[in-house]
Amino acid sequence: MSKVSKEVKVIVFRLQNEEYGVPIDYVGSIERMLEITRIPNTPKFIKGVINLRGIVTPVIDLRERFGMETSEYSNRSRMIIVHIDDKEVGMIVDEANDVVDLSEDDIETPPEVIGSVDTDYVRGVAKLEHRLLILLNLDRVLSNEEVNQLSAVEK
């Protein structure tokens, strides 16, 4: 652990009853639910594509991505548009309403079992006063491999 702890700003969002975070650097915008065009023959968690100000952007349902139980979208549901490498993807979450500052020191490696998400997708956990924040490893969450593998299986 470095002595000078780096501060990171994290967007906090909710899935079921757990709180998750992604570094703000990856986040392009947070959108209300937009009309989604379904794409056939893709894994279930890929909801389709949206028209994000003229750019066709794919969206995934994070609940389904992590194998959680699905729920109807409400007026609190949001799409968090994230950029990673040269990919741009919208992630549908139950709610997104907070930004917190974390220092790198607050982030711990995830224990074996944490919440409902496969630890593969977790970069670390951060303990805030009364809250536990699960930081996602976007690289893994948005890897193309699974998209292609799954679409191959479905064919």
Partner 1 sequence: METSQYLGIFIDESNENLQTINDGLLDLEKDPTNMEHIEVIFRAAHTLKGMSATMGYEELTTLTHQMEDVLDLVRNNQLPASTNLLDMLLHAVEKLEEMVGDISSGGDGKGVIQPILDQLKAIEKGEDVSDDSVASNQDVTSKELTLDSFEETVINQAKAEGLHTYHLTIQLADDCLLKAARVYMVFEILEKEGEIIKSVPSVEVLENEEFDQQFDVAYVTSIEQKEITDKIMKVSEIKQVSIQPIGNQKQTERTENIGINQEPTKLDSTTKEAQENSGSKRKQAANKTIRVNINRLDALMNLFEELVIDRGRLEQIADEMEHNDLTETVGRMTRISSDLQSIILNMRMVPIEQVFNRFPRMVRQLTRELQKEIQLDIEGAETELDRTVIDEIGDPLVHLIRNSLDHGIETPDVREKMGKNRQGHVLLKAYHSGNHVYIEISDDGQGINREKVLNKAIENQVVTPEQANQLSNRKIDELILASGFSTADEISDISGRGVGLDVVKNTIESLGGTIEIISEEGKGTTFTIQLPLTLSIISVMLSTIGNETYAVPLSTIIETALIKPEEIVTVQGQQMMHFRESVIPLIFLRDVLEVPDSANESAYESVIIVRKGEQVAGLVVDSLIGQQEVVLKNLGNYLTNIFAISGATILGDGEVALIIDTHSLIK
Residues binding partner 1 (CB under 8 A): 35, 37-42, 46, 48-51, 54-58, 85-89, 142, 144, 147-148, 151, 155
Measured from the CB atom, the residue of 6 and 32 that comes closer to partner 1 is 32
Q: Which residues pair with 89 in a beta bridge?
A: 82
Tokens at 9, concatenated:
């700003």
Provide, rounded to whole angstroms, the least separation between the CB of residue 21 and partner 1: 21
CB-wise, 52 or 107, nearer to partner 1? 52
Distance CA 47, CA 54 (A): 18
CB of 144 to partner 1, least distance (A): 7
Distance, in Å, from the CA atom of 137 to the CA atom of 147, rounded to the nearest integer, reads 17
- Residue 88 vs residues 85, 107, 118, 127: alpha-carbon distances, Å: 8, 26, 23, 29
Nearer to partner 1, 40 or 111 (CB): 40
In the complex, least distance from residue 88 CB atom to partner 1, rounded to whole angstroms: 6
